Amino acid sequence: MKILVVNAGSSSLKFSVFEGLELTLISNGIVDKIGKPGGRITVKVYKGTKFGKHIEIGNAVDHHHAFIKIVKQLKDQYIRVIQDVSEIIAIGHRVVHGGEYYRDPQRITKELIKQVKKMKSIAPLHNPKNLTCIEICKRMFPKALQVAVFDTSFHQTMPPRAFRYAIPDRFYKKDGIRVYGMHGTSHKYVAEAAAAYLGKPLSETNLITVHLGNGCSMAAIQNGICIDTSMGMSPMPGLIMGTRSGDIDPSIIFYLYRNSRLKIDEIESMLNNESGLQGLTGMNDLRDILSSMEKGDEDATLAMEMYTYRIKKYIGAFMAVIGRTDAIVFTAGVGENSWFVRSRAVEGLEHLGVSLDDDKNKSHEKGILMLQADESKVKILRVPTNEELEIARSTIEVLNKMQ
């Protein structure tokens, strides 16, 4: 029995193949820079004589093409992760936006696809890509159970005081305009992992989880459930991100429309694709920005000050919301790998009981690490996320319910 997990991003497509009910990882990989020059597919195999990393250079023009490349690699006579598509009994899909419709993982049906399509305007970079992968999987794996795992599900426990906007009530009741939050699969996984590492039941654990990648978000978790998050109705608000602006004054949109003669679609594209670190520095890869900062680049220096300052603001706000804070948890590509970002994000929070140990913070050890100083009242953890494993677990849940 094998489970395939499909995690479609805006310009990438990650996948994992798990075997058995114990979900042993046998292969994973990524197609990156989809639709851009310099792309490649990387497949890692963790079982049998084909163990190792296999890389194919070549662009994927879109997510449909990328998925065909993945299946071709998995069936390749040298790699041979699967010999026939019938070996895959279920496929778990990351779906970014499920609105208020879905709190739990769901079997994919025509009605579910219809509802996900309604959310395309709220998550324009992701939901269309998620739907593309669902459709091609239905064709290539016709007998496999298709399961949707929603990024928004974890945040559905937020109370109305956190998820409502102060606009006329009819826009919530008729149009569903409210805070939904994203990256829920990651926040859920690292919250469970952090609580287990601390030796506490999740239901008695208060955490601030900080997911920092190209997209960035934070969650305030009180007694194991999310009570607030930094993203909003869409993935655009909150922290400064790779290409997204994060929080801005809404009147800026009106100003750009009236004074700069930009069309609404142009403003939306600018805020999603040309803002954040990209807008401040011309780069959206944090490694490049840090390198430029070390060389004295003033734009890169300011960008990192703004980036980490915004994280710090949300840490303070979320500590006020959840009260006793057991740990601040950093995760995802930047959160796991950048000691500089972690250091600057908690710098000056000693009065709130948050102190970082510089040597621990710069450690290259793998796995979960405690990074706080001895005197720190609040734990600071680095927890590697594993969205694909969490999606596989959710897929098994749906599979078991059907048997």
Residue pair 91/136 in contact (Cβ under 8 Å)? The answer is no
Q: Which of 2.60.40.1180, 3.30.420.40, 3.20.20.70, 3.40.50.720 would CATH assign to domain 200-382? A: 3.30.420.40
Residue pair 194/207 in contact (Cβ under 8 Å)? The answer is yes
pLDDT of residue 21: 86
Q: How far, in whole angstroms, is CA 58 from its chain's centroid?
A: 25
- For residue 200, what are its two tokens? 């506490």
Chain position carrying tokens 């029995």: 1
The continuous run of DSSP H or E covering 171 comes out as helix 169-175
DSSP letter string, 226-275: EEEES--SSSSSSS--SS---S--THHHHHHHHHS---HHHHHHHHHHS-
Task: Indicate which residue of 62, 76, 84, 151 is catalytic.
Answer: 151
| Pairing between β-strand 225-229 and β-strand 216-222 as defined by DSSP bridges | antiparallel
pLDDT of residue 2: 94
Q: What is the pLDDT of residues 325-346, one digit of tens each?
A: 999 999 999 999 999 999 999 9
Please state whether the predicted TM-score (pTM) of the whole model is above 0.85: yes
Distance CA(17)–CA(14), nearest Å, equals 11
Burial 261-293 (b: 16+ CB within 10 A, else e): ebeeeebbebbbbebbbbbbbebbebeebbebb
Residue pair 167/199 in contact (Cβ under 8 Å)? The answer is no
Sketch the domain layout of the chain as residue ranges.
2-150, 200-382
**Domains 2-150 and 200-382 agree in fold:** yes
- For residue 129, what are its two tokens? 């890509």
Sign, CA dihedral 364-369-372-373, equals negative
- The list of the chain residues with pLDDT below 50 reads none
Q: How far, in whole angstroms, is CA 161 from its chain's centroid?
A: 24
> Under CATH, which architecture does the 2-150 domain have?
2-Layer Sandwich (3.30)
pLDDT of residue 357: 97
Q: Is 151 a catalytic site residue?
A: yes
DSSP letter string, 54-76: EEEE---SSHHHHHHHHHHHHH-
